[in-house]
Amino acid sequence: MARIITIFLFFLSLGFSDELKEKLKAFFEREGYVIKVEGDRVWVDIKNLREKEELTVLREGEEIIHPITKQSFGKELERIGKIVVEEVKDNFSVGKLVEGKGLKPGDRVKVEIKSLCYEGSEEGYFLLSSVFPKVEKGKGCAYTVKEFERGYGVEFKGSAVAFFEKPTVGIPRASLEDINILVKGKFVKQLPSLPISADVGDVVGDGRDYLVVLFSGRVEVYEIVRNDIVLKASYSLPAGVPVSVVVAPIADEKKDYIIVNMVSGTRASSVILRMVGGVLVPVLKDVPYIMGVLDKSKPKETFLGQRFDSKVKFGNVIRLSLEGNKLQERGIFLAPRGFKIDSAIYYGNYLIFVDSSGRLKVFEGDSEIYASEDSFDGSYAYAEIVEDIKDRVIFHPKPALFSLMNFRLTLVPKNTGGNVLKILDILKFSRGELVIVGERKKSLVFSKTVRGSEFLEAIQAVVSTKDGRVFVLTGRVGTIPVQNKGDLYELEFRLL
């Protein structure tokens, strides 16, 4: 394996436990009530739904009573309709009534599981089929349960919707804060020039992650192979300064879009691209936001844009949606003070970002629960805005989520600024390293620098793939542009 994690008798993985069976059963038997009806639009109170999931509508009838013991066996249920989910909110969802009529608040609704497939071991199939007798092996179902080393994932029509971890036994689970981790960067490839930013995603639509790298003047898509990357597509950017790239499924297509954040003159002028027939084509240009997706498991709900111009630099934050080739504003996102979208990400319920003063901040709702003492300097991604005076705005690389020993955590790049060469006006960094942000317990997080994670000059990006590989892209600059270079490393984690 490209990523090696050495764990000495630390965990012993199990298959399904009774608790895990109950969690899966509860997921596939999600139910609730109709709370509002307007024509063919129906509001339901079920949480954790996905667009296009189907719901069966049931109406309660007479109570069923045992004739001897008088024990109640519940009420008769009559199927009266079907709903297709169209909008998913935090505490409710809205769907369209496609079968039936006469619905009213109080009617029961239940997720309809037409077909369920399983991909994994024989043991897992046997145990899953003991809970769901109609489970099939292979692909092609509306819902699929996939077995992974760490647990079982659930897909709905090809999109990941839930993950259930396998239980562990043996030595009691330690805190990640108490574990000493050594990281080693395995060199993969030298990049053709200085990378500005990078991200990964399924931009082709074949279910695999591709590495998307932003350079000055162009964006490139690479296929990730075992010990290398292979160029698949390139796109020359319009006039302006590229500052970051984001890859996420922000539309209805079964592929990820590429957001290239750019600055032109005194304001943002970003671009949205998608892959068509192996070629990158623009969907939108001159978008007046620096954009981001805070949680890739909920891309449409966390697709945001932040106003950026010479007056306020990072300004108001707007919720966005991409409908066809049009970008729609969906209201204000109440961001904390000092919020910058370039480095923002959700870690569970925590909002993590590096603020305008360079401090790493963690918020839970409106409450700040962590702030770093040290400053996190930016990267070689910057834009110079000239209006009344020349102003250099430096952008921070985005953190990456990944899993280690059944822990879900965040890797945050931390660069240390060097001297600015006054004569040549060149921005320099002296080193880059990685900081882990994890949860000690609810509403209490910690950070610690990863040993061995120091790189020459700056970390320009850290990304993690669906199969657990973690890559770091570094950058270094010289006194002339031709000396600007970058390297790609794959990280290997070991316990000390």
Give me the pLDDT at residue 5, please: 37
Mean pLDDT of all residues in 40-45: 93
Place of tokens 């610690």: 448
394 in a structural domain? yes
CA-wise closest residue to 395 among 335, 463, 312, 314 = 314
Give me the pLDDT at residue 406, please: 67
16 in a structural domain? no
Are residue 103 and residue 192 in the same domain, yes or no? Answer: no
Strand partners, 136: 117
CA dihedral 143, 209, 454, 9 (to 10 degrees): 40
Mean pLDDT of the chain: 87
132 in a structural domain? no
How does pLDDT run across 380-416, given as a tens digit for each residue? 999 988 766 678 899 999 999 988 766 788 999 999 9
Residues 6+ positions from 98 with CB-CB distance below 8 Å? 40, 82, 83, 84
Q: Is the pLDDT of residue 169 over 60?
A: no
Number of domains the chain is built from: 2
Q: Is the pLDDT of residue 423 over 60?
A: no
Q: How confident is the model at residue 175 (pLDDT cuts 50, 70, 90)?
A: low
CATH number reported for the structural domain that contains residue 103 in this entry: 2.40.10.410
Are residue 228 and residue 369 in the same domain, yes or no? Answer: yes
295 in a structural domain? yes
Cα 341 to Cα 349, 399, 484: the distances in Å are 17, 11, 26
Q: pLDDT: is 193 or 14 the higher one?
A: 193
Please state at what angle helix 18-28 crosses helix 122-131, rounded to 10 degrees. 60
Are residue 305 and residue 448 in the same domain, yes or no? Answer: yes
Give me the pLDDT at residue 263, please: 95
Last residue of a domain, one of 112, 137, 155: 112
Strand partners, 399: none
Q: pLDDT: is 350 or 72 the higher one?
A: 350
Q: Is the pLDDT of residue 1 over 60?
A: no
Q: Is the pLDDT of residue 197 over 90?
A: yes
18 in a structural domain? no
Tell me if 118 sits within 8 A of 144, measured CB to CB.
yes
Give me the pLDDT at residue 77, please: 84
Give me the pLDDT at residue 389, please: 67
| CB atoms inside a 10 Å sphere around CB 41 | 14
Last residue of a domain, one of 67, 94, 112: 112
Q: Is the pLDDT of residue 337 over 50?
A: yes
Last residue of a domain, one of 112, 136, 154: 112
Are residue 181 and residue 284 in the same domain, yes or no? Answer: yes
Give me the pLDDT at residue 128, please: 79
Average the pLDDT over each of 113-127, 247-261, 447-461 and give the range with the smallest value: 113-127
Give me the pLDDT at residue 311, please: 83
Give me the pLDDT at residue 470, please: 95
Mean pLDDT of all residues in 334-352: 93
CATH number reported for the structural domain that contains residue 480 in this entry: 2.120.10.30
139 in a structural domain? no
| CB atoms inside a 10 Å sphere around CB 362 | 22
Q: Is the pLDDT of residue 29 over 70?
A: yes
129 in a structural domain? no
Give me the pLDDT at residue 199, please: 97
Q: How confident is the model at residue 10 (pLDDT cuts 50, 70, 90)?
A: very low
Q: How confident is the model at residue 109 (pLDDT cuts 50, 70, 90)?
A: very high
282 in a structural domain? yes
Are residue 108 and residue 190 in the same domain, yes or no? Answer: no
Are residue 298 and residue 376 in the same domain, yes or no? Answer: yes
Place of tokens 């994994």: 120
Are residue 251 and residue 349 in the same domain, yes or no? Answer: yes
Are residue 351 and residue 220 in the same domain, yes or no? Answer: yes
Give me the pLDDT at residue 424, please: 55
Q: How confident is the model at residue 231 (pLDDT cuts 50, 70, 90)?
A: very high
Percent of the chain with pLDDT strictly greater than 90: 56
Are residue 182 and residue 99 in the same domain, yes or no? Answer: no
Are residue 286 and residue 414 in the same domain, yes or no? Answer: yes
Q: pLDDT: is 29 or 321 the higher one?
A: 321
How does pLDDT run across 60-72, given as a tens digit for each residue? 888 888 787 767 7
What is this structure's pTM? 0.67
Are residue 463 and residue 370 in the same domain, yes or no? Answer: yes
Are residue 369 and residue 457 in the same domain, yes or no? Answer: yes
Range of the domain at 85: 29-112
Mean pLDDT of all residues in 328-351: 93
Amino acid sitting at position 398: K
How does pLDDT run across 400-409, given as a tens digit for each residue? 998 876 678 8
Q: How confident is the model at residue 16 (pLDDT cuts 50, 70, 90)?
A: very low
Q: How confident is the model at residue 13 (pLDDT cuts 50, 70, 90)?
A: very low
Give me the pLDDT at residue 388, please: 65
